[in-house]
Amino acid sequence: MIAEGRRLPVGGGVVMPRQRLLDLVDRLRVALPAEVYQAAEVLEQREELLAQAREEATRLLSRVQEEAERRLSESELVRAAEERAQEMAREAQERANSLLREAEAQARLRLDEAEALARQQVEEADAYALQALERLEEQLTHLLEQVRRGIQALEMRQGRPG
């Protein structure tokens, strides 16, 4: 049929009657085996499956990325929590050390105050004891003088010179 057609002077094409060409295409369609149509369906199904697989892969990749971000975020939270816990422990230790230093200073101050008070009380007790002993000495001296006068008076009565 192509061999029977008229050749075009430019480009090497052939001119054929339209109806004759359409009849030829219809005969070719009828002559194509069912496998060709099935192959076309298989190709179409393949494309659909590939599209579904791409969508599923995209969803799966998205979920994996979200999970990775969540875990990264969790690990950052854990790291931040651990750092905060260490900071709190360090602050607590510093506060405990500070409180211990303050308590030791207070204890030293109170001990110094107690020692000063004890020294003052000992000094006051010594001063009181000294005053009491001086009064006792005075009284004993006075009493001794009375005893001597009494002895002298008795000796004079008995006629003994004293």
Q: Is 2 left (phi over 0), alpha (psi -120 to 50) or beta?
A: alpha
Mean pLDDT estimate for the chain: 86
Q: Is residue 80 part of a domain?
A: yes
Does 107 reside within a domain? yes
> Given this model, what pLDDT does residue 78 score?
86
CA distance linking residue 48 with residue 41, whole number of Å:
10
The reply to whether 18 falls in a domain is no
> What is the rounded distance in angstroms from the CA atom of residue 138 to the CA atom of residue 144?
10
- pLDDT bracket for residue 17 (50, 70, 90): confident
For range 1-12, the mean pLDDT: 64
* 26 within some domain: no
Residue given tokens 């979920």 in the structure block: 63
61-108 pLDDT, tens per residue?
899 888 888 888 888 888 889 999 999 999 999 999 999 999 999 999
Q: How many domains does the chain have?
A: 1
**Cβ atoms of 59 and 51 closer than 8 Å:** no
Query: Does residue 17 sit within a domain?
Result: no
Are residues 155 and 149 in contact, defined by beta-carbon separation less than 8 angstroms?
Answer: no
- Cα→Cα distances 87→97, 131, 147, Å: 15, 65, 87
Dump pLDDT digits (tens) for 125-142. 999 999 999 999 999 999
The answer to whether residues 6 and 15 touch, using CB atoms and an 8 Å cutoff, is: yes
> Residue 101: which domain range?
32-158
pTM confidence score: 0.39
Residue 21 falls within a domain, yes or no? no
Res 117: pLDDT: 94
Interior CA angle at 94 toward 92 and 99, to 5°?
90
Q: For residue 46, what pLDDT is reported?
A: 87
